[in-house]
Amino acid sequence: ATTAPRIPSTRLALHHFDTSYSLHLGALWPSVRAGLLCEQKYGALLNNFAAADHVPQELELLNATDFISEASQKAQQWQQVVAAGGAARGCQEGSGEGRTGMQAEIMTQAKTSPLLSASISSKIKCYTFPRGDITRFRPARPDALGLLDYYLMDAASLLPVLALNVQPDDFVLDLCAAPGGKTLALLQAGFCGHLAANDISVSRTKRLYQILHSYVPKEVRDTVSVTTYDGRDWDQVNGGTFHKVLVDVPCTTDRHSAMEEDNNIFHKRRTKERQMLPMLQLQLLMAGILAAKPGGEVVYSTCSLSPLQNECVVE
């Protein structure tokens, strides 16, 4: 053990990704691989609780744009195109021309996808720089009451929150909440009747508390209950009570695994833990389903490209 060459965990991770994702993604993998290894770009999630009306103008002067409102506009344009295309195809079908399966699938997705519908919240705003622009955002600043004006996060992390489509007075459970970015985003919508933020890790939960105190006023924090249960046992604590449940599970965290040695799950000492991830994810998803009311909605998400951690768990 002392004489064997030490292979960095990041290299082991990248070798694993090259082996598995090249088969899964095919010709897409080289560009995805480059994306994983590029410098990380952040989005600035505006804090609606801070007195920071000047921030959007400041960011727009730097050429940053709110990607959520842009997506909403593009979705509306897309739905108009789909509707027009459907009318045109209806005329064609009358003259004997059929509609392809792909066209039908696109129309179905446009009608049902939460990211192509009114579920995109007008209250949540996240600014990003254009593709290819790696400008860094300045550190967040406090307002007169000490609340920070924005939270820097991977903008893609907002997609599960948008898909959850929280409605006024919903009871919401964030089953694996720490370190707290998605919990903060859920509060930005201003709709939660009550938010339960749970995470098994005490140290990560401390980070969640810090975020809540830095960004959220006390009267709103009082509507959030922070717990440190094992998420797999949540249904035994409080089952069948939530309208919306977010199950953002622990995973191989692909970008971190390919870029950072610290706390890397591809370290040889964590091999068994990594192999057991899909079972843990399945147990957490089952607990999330059992925590939801009949007719409630559950969003399952990871930050991994692995089918074993995504499609296979859901299936």
pLDDT of residue 82 exceeding 50 = yes
Instruction: Give the CA-trace dihedral at 19, 23, 24, 26, to 10 degrees.
Output: 120
Task: Report the pLDDT value the prediction gives residue 40, as an integer from 0 to 100.
Answer: 85
User: Which residues span the domain enclosing 162?
Assistant: 39-78+121-313
Higher confidence at residue 258 or residue 101?
258
Contact between 159 and 67 (Cβ < 8 Å): no
Helices (H) and strands (E) in the chain, counts: 14, 9
Token look-up 């299936």 returns 315
Cα dist from 98 to 88, 89, 92, 102, 104, whole Å: 12, 8, 7, 12, 11
Question: CATH number for the domain including 152?
Answer: 3.40.50.150
Specify binding-site residues for S-adenosyl-L-methionine. Answer: 176-182, 199, 230, 248
> Has residue 100 got a pLDDT over 50?
no
How much is the mean pLDDT over the chain?
A: 87
Has residue 90 been placed in a domain? Answer: no
CA distances from 264 to 92, 240, 243, 257 (A): 56, 35, 35, 6
Please check whether residue 280 lies inside any domain of the structure.
yes
pLDDT at 80: 74
- Which of 43-47, 107-111, 138-142, 235-239 has the weakest average pLDDT? 107-111
Sequence letter at residue 19:
T
CA distance 247 to 262: 25
Beta strands across the sheet bearing 43-46: 65-66, 126-128, 43-46, 150-153
Tell me whether residue 296 is in a domain.
yes
**85 within domain boundaries:** no
State residue 72's pLDDT score: 77
Residue 91 falls in the annotated catalytic set: no
Q: What is the 3-state secondary structure (H, E, C) of 145-171?
A: CCCECEEEECHHHHHHHHHHCCCCCEE
Cα distance between residue 280 and residue 285, in whole Å: 9
Nearest CA-CA partner of 49 in 175, 142, 127: 142
Confirm whether 87 is domain-assigned.
no
| Per-residue pLDDT at 104 | 41
pLDDT of 106 higher than 50: no
**How confident is the model over 189-231, as pLDDT tens digits?**
888 889 999 999 999 999 999 999 999 999 999 989 999 999 9
**Residue 217 preceded by cis peptide, ω within 30:** no
What is the C-alpha separation between 215 and 177, in angstroms, rounded? 16
pLDDT attached to residue 181? 95
Please state the pTM of the whole predicted model: 0.85
Here the tokens at position 230 are 């094992």
- Provide the number of structural domains found in the chain: 1
Residue 80 token pair: 């108009």
Is 92 a member of any domain? Answer: no
State residue 96's pLDDT score: 46
d(CA 267, CA 112): 41
* pLDDT-based confidence at residue 236 (cuts at 50, 70, 90): confident
H-helix or E-strand spanning residue 290: helix 277-291
State residue 90's pLDDT score.
Answer: 54
pLDDT at 2 over 90: no
45 within domain boundaries: yes
- Catalytic residue selected from 126, 192, 303, 312: 303
Q: Give the mean pLDDT of 65-92.
A: 73
Q: Answer yes or no: is pLDDT of 110 > 50.
A: no
pLDDT tens figures, 151-172: 999 999 999 999 999 998 999 9
Tell me, yes or no, whether 186 lies in a domain: yes
What pLDDT sits at residue 22? 96
**Residue-level pLDDT at 252:** 96
Three-state DSSP state, 134: coil
pLDDT at 262: 92
* Residues whose CB is less than 8 angstroms from the CB of residue 131 and which lie 6 or more positions away in sequence, other chains included: none
Residues in the chain: 315
The model's confidence at residue 101, banded by pLDDT at 50, 70 and 90, is: very low
Residue 223 has which token pair? 């509507």
Tens of pLDDT along 18-60? 999 999 999 999 999 999 999 888 999 999 999 989 999 999 9
Using only C-alpha atoms, the chain has a radius of gyration, in whole angstroms, of 21
Query: Which is higher by pLDDT, 262 or 79?
Result: 262
